[in-house]
Every structure is written in C-alpha cells, then in structure tokens.
Amino acid sequence: MMKILISGSSGFVGSRVLYQWQGRAELLAFPHGFLADADETAVRRFAETTQPDVILHLAALSDTGYCQQHPEESRRANVELPVWMAKAALDTGAKLVSFSSDQVYAGVKQPGPLPETLTLSPANIYGQHKLEAEERVQALCPEAVLLRAPWMYDLPGDGLPIRGNLPLNLLKAAREGVPVRFSPDDHRGVSWVREVVKRLLPALQLSGGVYNFGSGNDTDMVTTALQFAELLGVQVQIEPAGFSRNLVMDGTRLAAQGIRFNDAVGSFEACLKFYQK
C-alpha cells in the first residue's frame, strides 16, 4: 500500500484527504502545529523517519489579504516550506505533489481559459509567492507535480472543518437579508473540495510539471453566484463590484491525462446531490 506523508492534514483540504482516502493508502501526517515552528532540518528529518512514497504538500497561508499585509509570513509558508518539502522528497526518494493556486494568474489580461504555459507576473503577494515556489520546486525536483487549485467550497458534514465559502456566504446573506458583492468582470472557477480530493488520488500518478486543477467556468461571478443561489433555493441581492479579473483555468492538459472536473455549476449540483442523500 502506498505510504503518503501529508502536510496540512488538519486543514480544509487535508482533513478531507484523510477522510476520503481511508483504506486506499497508508496515510501519515506531520504532527499538529509542527510546521508552524519547524525549520528546514526538522522538516527533512521528520520525512526521513517516515520514508514515504509520496509527500503531499497541502499546507499554505492562503488568505490573500493577510499575505499582502504580512509578506514575510507568506514567504515562509508559501515559498520556503514547499522548497523544504522538495528537499525532503529528494532525501527520501519520494514523489512530491504540491498545491499551488489559481492566484498565479492574478493580473493576466487575456480572456478565456488560461493555460499553464502563460508567462506570469502575479498582481498580489500570495500569487507571487506561489509562482516562485513552483519555479524553485521544479528546479530542485523536475518530477514534482504542482497543482494550481481554485477557490474551493463545501457544506458542513462528517465533522470536517469548514470555512467561509461561496455557498455558505450566499446562505448567510439570504438569511440575514444583506447584499453580497460580485463583479460582472470577475471570472474564475470554483470547485467542490470533495471533488478536488477525489481527483487528487489519480493525480499522484501524473508526470512532473504544473497542472491547472479545478473546475472551469464560462460565466462571470455575478452569474455564477445567482446560479448557486437558485440551486440553493434562496434569493440574494448582488451589489456589483467594480474590478476586473480572470482566473479561469484551462483544464486541457489535465484532461489529456484522463482527469476531468465538472464545470463550476455541475460541481455544485454534485455537491448538493451528495448532501441530499
């Protein structure tokens, strides 16, 4: 059975990996809180004690606003830690699979789904650090798999940690009778985290490189929010925000390897069907 060492195992994605992959692999985790204080030597030493087949690096500091205000914390979490994981993979002969982010595309002006081959200059600190991590990890470990993940959501269930996300924000706004703000010029994919975790298992077999890893979306976020609200059976008032962004990822490269995601609305329909069982 494959032995997988997971960082961020108590987080939004990592907790669902532990839950959904039970019995499919030998799942190991860095101790709770360990990575907040550990240095490179400690990280590499811990990996050596476990001798994993795969290091699945999910831990990150992903609040873009916080990263903008605390760039040194962001650098440690989002650049230095992935590099340490790459070195740990080299030490142990493990394959590294590490999450990146759709925020590497922040600032891209071209419309439509964005391929992995674009030359990028991210507009925020978080995206800059994620792109730097990709480049440094690839330089160390060309066989590493780097997955650019989108904004993810889930509904409460199975005692797993939950956080604010698109459907929960819409439900809260409808319940409290307050408007929500979205831009008609904002385009991005949003993905159900349980679908991401499901597709992540076969992604462990991908050849090294960068892959867009999440749902596509052919509509703007105002339309997407209204579609989600309709599926939830609630009405929300939307105040238009005045910014333009395109983070929609082209899934062609991933699909060529046999891994396909539902589009944003199809993913949410699957989520609702799952919780209505």
pLDDT in tens, 31-62: 999 999 999 999 999 999 999 999 999 999 99
Contact (CB, 8 A) for 54 and 29: no
pLDDT in tens, 78-128: 999 999 999 999 999 999 999 999 999 999 999 989 999 999 999 999 999
In DSSP notation, 131-192 reads HHHHHHHHHH-TT-EEEEE-EEE--S-TT------HHHHHHHHHHHT--EEE-TTEE--EEE
> What CA–CA distances, in Å, run from 117 to 81, 120, 252?
24, 9, 12
Is the alpha carbon torsion for 31, 34, 40, 41 positive or negative? negative
pTM, rounded to two decimals: 0.96
What tens-digit pLDDT sequence spans the chain (277 residues)? 899 999 999 999 999 999 999 999 999 999 999 999 999 999 999 999 999 999 999 999 999 999 999 999 999 999 999 999 999 999 999 999 999 999 999 999 999 899 999 999 999 999 999 999 999 999 999 999 999 999 999 999 999 999 889 999 999 999 999 999 999 999 999 999 999 999 999 999 999 999 999 999 999 999 999 999 999 999 999 999 989 999 999 999 999 999 999 999 999 999 999 999 6
